[in-house]
Amino acid sequence: MREPAQPLQRHSPRPRSPRIYPHIAFATLCSLLLGCGQDSSTVTRSTQPVSGGTLVYATDREPTCLDPHVAGDMPQVFVAQQYLDSLVSMDQQGRIGPWLAKSWEVSADGLSYSFHLRNDVHFTDGTPFNAAAVKANLDHMANPKTQSSTAGGYIRQYRSTEVRDEFTAVVHLATPYAAFLEVLAQGFLGIQSPTALLRPRDVNCESPVGSGPFKVVRWERQSQVELVRNPDYNWAPPTARHQGPAWLERIVWKFILEPSVRFASLQAGEVDVIEALPPESHEAARRNPDLTLIIAQRPGNPTNGTLNITRAPFDDLRVREAFVRSADIEGALKSVYFSEFPRAGGPLSPATRFYSADFQHAQHYDPARAARLLDEAGWTQRDSEGYRIRNGQRLQVHVVMGNRTPPSEYTLWEQVQATTRLAGFELIVEQMSDVQATKRQADWDYDIRLGYWNTNTADVLRIIFSSEFIRPAGVGGYHQNTAGFNDPAFDGILQQALATQDAEQRRGLYYQAQQIASAQYLQLTTYPQSTRLGIYKTTQGVRLEPSLAVTYLYDAWVNK
């Protein structure tokens, strides 16, 4: 999941293949699958996997903790996908398959899941994987002391795990939760060694232990994480391209904050793969015969500014719609992101299962309609600077940004500031430390809160808009429902969606939920979150894990 520095996963009815931009046709079919090679005058590349070697991976953001159960931000799950396995897998069509669990049954009332586990798995510290390990992990996620806002938030329905026998775990839920298997496929809920989980939280953050194809050996803060191959690995998911140990001997996971430096390092072959490829470098990367791109949208709730409807001026639906209609997001995306980021119009990203495109139009730029709505709401006068006023007060809104907000996002909102001003809004962009921004969020002291939520289920609508994820204004504390939206009918629809395993019933219910959220103008949505990889010519077999479109290096190899 989660929002970035504001808080911080695709389950799809259609294939969700990433876009690949190779430089010769031969690579088109291969780079996502087994990583077929491109010819090079300087490097002989094998079209067959090569065992051994080190892959250097560079990304922009460093995790605050390597254990993805703690908090739960995207940088954590990218690393975790290399050393953790999950109970179940998800394929490109969004179908749930086996992994550490061979099979399972769901009780008729939807309250119990009986998992039949593999009996040949062990963690890299030697601890065996069994039903007791499943119980330890789910208990760890649900324990408030873990402070698991993502994994723990996804399993709020969790009640207990019964160890029926060594390799049968029966998970009991308080209420039906049709999205349970979907979220279990995410790396945020990856299974860790129960022995390691007994250590203090900070120790486990530094050196978590999984059963995956790699193991964490060292974390050098503000520099890199080193992972080495798990020689015993022989339980890859059915979505993998091979079985047995990973091809790579070692991964060096580097943190390079500056986008231009990260891209230059890739062009020079100093790193093999970069994540968060800057949009201004996309075209240069496409023209470079030494590079291949993999670009895929992530599922969930797209990047947005959520409107606080618990106070003026956004307690008025007409003002909310006027603000959204007066923001020229398409123009801003073209200018700031070089048309590389598509517009997100609805409350779900297109990569999300049960997404409907019917609500894109609700966010279209329409300054004439915005003007009419503000007139209807009584904001009919303007002051000497052109801002709308009513009863002597200016139509003013404050957007809060933490210091981890990327500079490009700030520029995007400067453009929103310019176009909404034409309608009469005074948009004040407030930059501050993440600590200050978090406190402002906890105190409901904002008009617009920036964020996104990556998850592979349409149940994200419940997480960000239902009353169970809200703390009333004045109470304080972190709240995932940052809009303050409270609608019993909306809540009821989402509970119905969790109570049925019927896909078509779920589709209809999530359609209704999208319709309500869109009509309420709870967010100004901007663009879907995406994974954007640049890959140097000596690296092949890099893939994206299907549930969250995060990097998966188990099938990758290098020719150096």
Do 441 and 499 belong to one domain?
A: yes
Average pLDDT, the chain: 92
Rounded-to-integer distance, Cα 142 and Cα 201, Å: 14
The backbone torsions φ and ψ at residue 307, rounded to the nearest 5 degrees and listed phi first, read -90, 130
Q: How confident is the model at residue 28 (pLDDT cuts 50, 70, 90)?
A: very low
Mean local confidence (pLDDT), 232-247? 98
How many structural domains does the chain have? 2
Q: Are both 44 and 157 inside the same structural domain? A: yes
Q: How confident is the model at residue 91 (pLDDT cuts 50, 70, 90)?
A: very high
Q: Do the Cβ atoms of 472 and 459 come closer than 8 Å?
A: no
pLDDT value for 429 = 97
Q: What is the pLDDT of residue 326?
A: 98
Place of tokens 């699958």: 33
Amino acid identity at 472: P
Q: Which amino acid is at 545?
A: E
| Structural domain range at position 174 | 19-296+531-558
The answer to the question of residue 11 being in a domain is: no
The CATH number covering residue 443 comes to 3.10.105.10
- Smallest CA-to-CA distance from 362 within 528, 510, 481, 517 is with 517
Quote the pLDDT of residue 22: 53
Tens of pLDDT, residues 211-230? 999 999 999 999 999 999 99
Asked if residue 7 is part of any domain, the answer here is no
Above 60 in pLDDT, residue 36? no
Region 379-397: what's the mean pLDDT?
Answer: 97
Supply the pLDDT for residue 234: 98
Over residues 3-10, the mean pLDDT reads: 36
- Same domain, yes or no: 274 and 313: no
**Does a structural domain hold residue 224?**
yes
Residue 132 is assigned to a structural domain of this protein? yes
Q: How confident is the model at residue 383 (pLDDT cuts 50, 70, 90)?
A: very high
8 A C-beta contact, residue 431 and residue 405? yes
pLDDT at 283 exceeding the cut of 70: yes
Average pLDDT score over residue span 406-432:
97
Average pLDDT over residues 329-339: 97
| pLDDT value of position 24 | 31
Provide the pLDDT for residue 8: 35
State residue 471's pLDDT score: 72
Q: pLDDT class for 35, splitting at 50, 70, 90? A: very low
Question: Is there a single domain that holds both residue 74 and residue 179?
Answer: yes
10 within domain boundaries: no
Give a yes or no: residue 4 inside a domain. Answer: no
pLDDT at 113: 98
450 in a structural domain: yes
Give the model's confidence band at 474: pLDDT under 50 very low, under 70 low, under 90 confident, else very high: low
Q: At 223, which CATH number? A: 3.40.190.10
Query: What integer pLDDT is reported at residue 12 of this predicted model?
Result: 33
Asked if pLDDT for residue 183 goes beyond 50, the answer is yes
Residues 250 and 373 in one domain: no
Do 446 and 550 belong together in one domain? no
pLDDT above 90: percentage of residues in the chain: 88
- Say yes or no: 371 and 461 in one domain: yes
pLDDT above 80: residue 292:
yes
What does the pLDDT read at residue 96?
A: 97
554 and 496, same structural domain?
Answer: no
- The DSSP symbol for 258 reads -
- Are 337 and 464 in a shared domain? yes
What helix, strand, coil percent values describe the chain, rounded to 5? 30, 25, 45
pLDDT > 70 in the chain, percent = 91
Label the pairing between strands 448-454 and 396-401.
parallel
- Report the C-alpha gap between 445 and 448 in whole angstroms: 9
Establish if 489 belongs to a structural domain: yes
pLDDT above 70 (res 21): no
Tens-digit pLDDT profile for residues 246-263: 999 999 999 999 999 999
Mapping DSSP to helix (H, G, I), strand (E, B) and coil, where does residue 560 land? coil
Sequential DSSP letters for 214-229: EEEEEEETTTEEEEEE
Q: Is the pLDDT of residue 20 over 90?
A: no
Q: What are the helix (H) ranges across 219-271?
A: 259-267
> Are 50 and 83 in the same domain?
yes
- The angle formed by the CA atoms of residues 555, 77 and 478, to the nearest 5 degrees, is 170
With 0-12 / 13-18 / 19 or more C-beta atoms within 10 angstroms meaning exposed / middle / buried, residue 116 is middle
Q: What does the DSSP 8-state code read for residue 351?
A: T
Predicted local distance difference test score (pLDDT) of residue 5? 37
pLDDT digits (tens, 9 = 90+) for 487-531: 999 999 999 999 999 999 999 999 999 999 999 999 999 999 999
The SS3 of residue 393 is strand
Q: Is 120 exposed, middle or buried (0-12, 13-18, 19+ CB in 10 A)?
A: exposed
Residue 359 and residue 330 share a domain: yes
Please report the beta strands in 76-131, taking only residues with DSSP state E, as ranges in sequence order: 88-90, 96-98, 101-106, 112-117
Residue 176 has a pLDDT of 98
Q: Residue 40 above 60 pLDDT? A: no
Q: What is the CA radius of gyration of the chain?
A: 24
Shared domain check, 395 and 480: yes
